[in-house]
Structure 1
Amino acid sequence: MSISSRSEQALLSHDENEVVKTTHHPAIMDMTPDDLRANRPRLRQMYEKERTLAWQKRREVRGKAEPRGGSFPGTAERSLSRKQVFAGALQRLNKEISRLDRLAARSATAAGAHRALALRKAGEAAKHPAPGKSARSGMKAKASTRGGTKVNPAKVGRVSQATKNAQAARDNRT
């Protein structure tokens, strides 16, 4: 389930909110691919920190680990929700980066095709068509295009063996 922007603001500090805000729709379209790639490590670091805090809190609640450090930061209470916020921001960022990469690849392919077409049009056309086959030495036999019939090897001898079996059965009756 997605989290509203208002809920994100309530969960995050001001600095974190500024980073996450750039991954939402109007702001993400204005960013360059280099800016998007520069934000990715920071968002990933925030996500991993929240994942670690949530993991540690879960272990403490289950009684499998001692509390770590003197105290957790004030935002540690909602670490699972904060982790979801950062995960959503990372997804939006990665989706936009891959969209821009596909767009760049498509335009590069189109540019290459246009360049190839221009080179082909600029090239010299053949003055005469190829001569093809000629009738100088008379008619030649054409190779057959039909394939021979192929009998399944397992069926070879089936009819003659059936005749032998029938004859043997008749001989044994008398």
Structure 2
Amino acid sequence: MSLTRKEEERALNTDERAVVAQTRHPAVQDLPDDELSALLKRLRDLRDKASSHANQQRREMRGKAPPKGAEPSAGNAGSSLKATVLATALKRLNAEIQRREEMAKNHTLVENAQRALHMKMEAQRKNIPFNTRHASQGMRDIPDKDVNSLVRPAERGRLRKASQVAQAKRDAAEG
């Protein structure tokens, strides 16, 4: 179930609201990568603190842990809501980081393809004669002159042996 912004604001204090506001669409795309990673660390710390506080309150309600304050907690709805809001903001931030990584991968792929095309065009432009040698130019691709046979070697051997046997029978008949 999604939460409204009003419910989120009710669960968070002013510092947390400012951090969560930076994870929403227009603001998160304007952040540089270093600020994005710092925001990610801050948000993780806030989420961990809120979820551990909610867990502590839950244990107090069940009587498993001693109360932190004067009396045990009556409910942990606010703390668990805060943890949920921070976890959703963290999910948005992770999605933005993943989107940037995918864009960087695609950008790198395009750059490499363009560089390879440029190198290929340069090599074709030089028009080096085939038989000349050039130092430090690396290996050249020499196409195979042998035609690959489509007949299996075992089949070739079987046919060769059969023709030998046939020739031996003819020789024996003549002789």
**How does the TM-score come out when normalised to structure 1?**
0.69
Deviation at 1:57, TM superposition (A): 0.8
Bigger CA drift: 51-60 or 116-125? Answer: 116-125
Q: Who is 1:106 aligned against?
A: 106
Q: CA RMSD in A?
A: 2.8
Distance 1:121 1:148, change over 3 A: same
Cα distance per residue 1:49-77 (max 9 Å; x no partner): 011111111111111110125689xxx75
**How does the TM-score come out when normalised to structure 2?**
0.69
User: Which amino acid in 1 is paired with 2:89?
Assistant: A
User: Which amino acid in 2 is paired with 1:79?
Assistant: S
User: Which amino acid in 2 is paired with 1:16?
Assistant: E
Q: Who is 2:66 aligned against?
A: 66
Q: 2:128 and 2:92 mapped to 1: Cα distance? A: 54
Q: Who is 1:95 aligned against?
A: 95
Q: Aligned runs of 1:150-169 on 2, under 5 Å?
A: none
Cα distance per residue 1:23-48 (max 9 Å; x no partner): 11121122222221110111001000
Deviation at 1:132, TM superposition (A): 6.5
Aligned residues: 139
Distance 1:131 1:25, change over 3 A: closer
Distance 1:122 1:65, change over 3 A: same
Q: 1:131 and 1:67 mapped to 2: Cα distance? A: 81
Q: Who is 2:151 aligned against?
A: 145
Q: Which of structures 1 and 2 has the larger relative contact order (alpha carbons within 8 angstroms, sep 6+)?
A: 1
